[in-house]
Homo-oligomer: A and B are copies of this chain.
Amino acid sequence: MSTPHHPQLDRDGRLQHLLTLEGLPREILTSILDNAAPFLAVAEREIKKVPLLRGKSIFNLFFENSTRTRTTFEIAAKRLSADIVNLNISTSSTAKGESLLDTIDNLCAMHADMFVVRHASSGAPFLIARHLANIGRNDIHIVNAGDGRHAHPTQGLLDMYTIRHYKGGFEHLRVAIVGDILHSRVARSQIAALTTLGVPEIRVIGPGTLLPHDCARLGVRVYHDIREGLRDVDVVMMLRLQNERMNGALLPTPQEFFKVWGLTAEKLALAKPDAIVMHPGPLNRGVEIDSAVADSPQAVILPQVTFGIAVRMAVMSMLAA
């Protein structure tokens, strides 16, 4: 059903799955953002519900625990009137030795309409998408809710919605991404989307041990000095520092990390005066971001959450309505 170049588009170029933002055409990216806007209005109504996905069966397949992300999809699905079933798979079939694709085949046999997939292994949603294509089930759609270090496309999309909302567009922006780029699926999705949408200058800022080796190929500028990197940017996208990285040799203590890489008001002052500060959450206050910044008027972290519900409603309805 899908071409080799765009495994997530169908033959007519429409969105079949949302697996990654890499390679997704600008028109599709833009149309998702455009579709999200009316869903923001739905959330403001007395009755926050539309019947677009009534009678559809959506499965939240979380092979990796994330109450927070699971909740955003659950709320989005319920506001679209879908039936949604939560499956925390780590503790069930996989433990009994059932393979990932056997689990998927089973849910397909239950007439699933959509899988929202979170998995610790990069590429798991692609594997499922290829399998669905192989068995001719193009009536079932996948949304990648985060796979390993690879992609987190709905996060990238809500970030783009946020930037467009506050900056009016992408064409003249200087955007900085700060933190552990190397291990971050969020950063990969952000870089892909910013590039496709025409942001002329993307900067990544972080310690050498936490930057990918292919930064040049990604078309981004690398900064090892946060002060230098933040100078005159329009948008600061902070990444969450994964606590588990702390245990290894990659990083010093949280206190030392904060001193060098944490976003403080003093560092932020180097950016443009109207620069916005974003963060995918949950916040490590005092580690990658100072509370004074997280709670300042420049922070748009909570609007990101609001936009996230609308963007997920847009994606789900474009796929399955």
| A residues neighboring B (CB under 8 Å) | 43-49, 54-57, 65-68, 71-72, 74-75, 78-79, 83, 85, 87-89, 91-93, 96-99, 102-103, 105-111, 243, 281-285, 302-306, 309
Could you jot down 17 A-B contacts, CB within 8 Å? A46-B55, A47-B54, A47-B55, A47-B56, A49-B55, A57-B78, A65-B91, A71-B87, A71-B107, A96-B243, A97-B282, A98-B282, A98-B283, A106-B302, A109-B303, A109-B304, A110-B306
**Count of chain copies:** 3
Return chain B residues, CB-CB under 8 Å to A107: 71
Query: Once the chains bind, are A85 and B89 in contact (CB under 8 Å)?
Result: no
Known: A44-B111, A75-B85. A97 touches B284 (CB 8 A): yes
Return chain B residues, CB-CB under 8 Å to A79: 55, 57, 83
Return chain B residues, CB-CB under 8 Å to A89: 67
Most chain B Cβ neighbours within 10 Å, of A83, A106, A303: A106
- Give min CB distance, A42 to chain B, whole Å: 9
Query: Once the chains bind, are A106 and B67 in contact (CB under 8 Å)?
Result: no
